[in-house]
Amino acid sequence: MKDGALSWRKLFSAQLQAVEDKYSSKFDIDVDDLADMLSACLEGGILLLRILNEPQNLVKQILQYRDYLRLLYESS
């Protein structure tokens, strides 16, 4: 499980680093933390989908994460 989580972190971190290199974030961030947050949103969304039997729950969690990134990187 640990190896799997670290693989996802590496994959997501690389993509987030590309964003960080192109845009300035409003706050000091760690791309590994943002990558872990994405994993948590995905896993949490999957759990809620199954527990509540609400297929749109996963989509909502991903869209919330996207909005967070927009707020983090939008120009002032």
pLDDT over threshold 90, residue 6: yes
Q: How many domains does the chain have?
A: 1
36-70 residues labelled b (16+ CB within 10 A) or e (exposed): bebbebbeebeeebeeeeeeebbeebeeebeeebe
- Which residue range is the domain that position 11 belongs to? 2-73
Q: Tell me what the mean pLDDT of segment 42-60 comes to.
A: 92
pLDDT of the residue at 24: 87
| Global model pTM greater than 0.75 | yes
